[in-house]
Amino acid sequence: MTGTVIRNTGSWYVVRTDNGQFFNCKVKGNFRLKGIRSTNPIAVGDIVDITPAVDTAFITSIHDRRNYIIRKASNLSKQSHIIAANIDQAALVVTLKHPETNTTFIDRFLASAEAYRIPVLLVFNKVDLLDKNDMIQLDTLCQLYHSLGYDCLAVSAINSQLSTLHEALRNKTTLFSGNSGVGKSTLLNALVPGIQVKTAQISTSHDTGMHTTTFSEMYDLPDTGGSIIDTPGIKGFGTFDIEPQEVSHYFREIFTLSQSCRFGNCTHTHEPGCAVLVALQQGRIATSRYQSYLSMMQDKDDSKYRAAF
């Protein structure tokens, strides 16, 4: 039998078969030995073959993935964590306040999605909390990412300002990701009435989010078609399996400008005739983007991209 993984709790998987049946599944014992260096060899969105048994069912194989998005595992630097598979787009939910999402986190996510050719929609949530100066900052960020070809939406789950988001999700399988506390669960409850995903207040002492989603799950959108894959909030986004010489390929503006560099192997850090450094000096590349590029090139310390600029 063939089906789609719609929930992953770490040890159990829920698979919805092509004829609409649901099975609680485990993985065959030798499955993890097939050269898969991942903390979760099976992800929500995977198409799998299952074999029903008396008390449970077993996942016996994974179909070839159309795509997936991946990050470094939290505590195992030599292993990966597959966030989701077979998606049409990723919606990165971010906030300017309560908590603040720093631009390095955003850029690392964008670069990883670029590496796996997954379109990203930037969803700026909690705009109801922003004052006039904050709105100016929001407009500046949206202009920056729009200029790079990324769609940006400003929404408020509390005030039900979600019509543009509804339309952006229509008939697509969308990964929802973001830091803890940015309001993913509240957005999900507004988009899929009745599911009652757990929400929590952010920490008043640290202005950071607390984990409410503990596993990944796919939800069907009732009115617009398509589905959302909800994932646990993440504090940082460690890139995986991207070599330093490849990083510039995944920053759109740097890649375009690099075609004019004097040297083909230019790292855009010190070389003479570097078109990227010239553009940076002239203000044609945002300083925040260049700093994010450097952090991916040089810094293997996960703590760096968790701190705001």
For residues 32 and 92, state if they share a domain. no
Residues 151 and 96 both lie in one domain = yes
**Is residue 236, in this structure, part of any structural domain at all?**
no
The answer to whether 114 touches 144, Cβ cutoff 8 Å, is no
Same domain, 74 and 169: yes
Q: Are residues 110 and 165 in the same domain?
A: yes
pLDDT band at 305 (very low <50, low <70, confident <90, very high): very low
- How confident is the model at residue 203, as a pLDDT? 44
The reported pLDDT for the residue numbered 29 is 65
Asked, for residue 202, whether it belongs to a domain, the answer is yes
Report yes or no on 181 lying in a domain.
Answer: yes
Name the percent of the chain lying above pLDDT 70: 81
- pLDDT tens digits, 237-252: 555 567 788 999 999 9
**CATH number of the domain where residue 44 is located:** 2.40.50.140
Residue 197 falls within a domain, yes or no?
A: yes
For residues 32-48, give the mean pLDDT. Answer: 73
My answer on whether 36 and 106 are in the same domain is no
Give the model's confidence band at 292: pLDDT under 50 very low, under 70 low, under 90 confident, else very high. Answer: very high
Are 77 and 177 part of one and the same domain?
Answer: yes
| 238 belongs to a structural domain | no
pLDDT surpassing 90 at residue 107: yes
**Total-model pTM:** 0.85
Quote the percentage of the chain above a pLDDT of 90: 61
Q: Are residue 214 and residue 255 in the same domain, yes or no?
A: no
Contacts 24+ apart (CB under 8 A), 296-305: 296/108, 296/111, 296/239, 296/242, 296/244, 296/247, 297/244, 297/247, 297/267, 297/269, 298/244, 300/77, 302/72, 302/236, 302/238, 303/236, 304/104, 305/102, 305/104, 305/105, 305/108, 305/236, 305/237, 305/238
Query: Around Cβ 158, how many Cβ atoms within 10 Å?
Result: 15
Q: What is the CATH number of the domain that holds 262?
A: 1.10.40.50
Domain extent, residue 115, equals: 69-230
Q: How confident is the model at residue 78 (pLDDT cuts 50, 70, 90)?
A: low
Same domain? For 73 and 160 the reply is: yes
Q: Which of 16, 40, 64 is the last residue of a domain?
A: 64
Taking the C-alpha atoms of 216, 120, 2 and 73 in order, what is their torsion angle to the nearest 10 degrees?
-50
Residues 105, 215, single domain; the answer is yes
Q: What is the mean pLDDT of residues 127-152?
A: 96
Please give the pLDDT value at position 205.
45
In a domain, 52, yes or no: yes
What total number of domains does the chain contain?
A: 3
Which of 64, 82, 102 represents a domain boundary (last residue)?
64
Residue 235 in domain: no
Element at 176 (helix H, strand E): strand 173-177
Q: pLDDT by residue (tens digit) across 191-237?
A: 998 887 766 554 444 444 444 455 889 999 988 889 999 988 665 55
Residues 1-23 have a mean pLDDT of: 92
Mean pLDDT of 281-296: 96
pLDDT per residue as tens digits for the range 251-279 = 999 999 999 999 999 999 999 999 999 99
The pLDDT of residue 32: 53
Based on the domain organization, do 23 and 137 belong to the same domain? no
Residue 19 lies in a domain: yes
pLDDT number for residue 31 = 58
For range 274-286, the mean pLDDT:
97
Same domain, 156 and 102: yes
Over residues 32-45, the mean pLDDT reads 69
Q: Are 294 and 193 found together in one domain? A: no
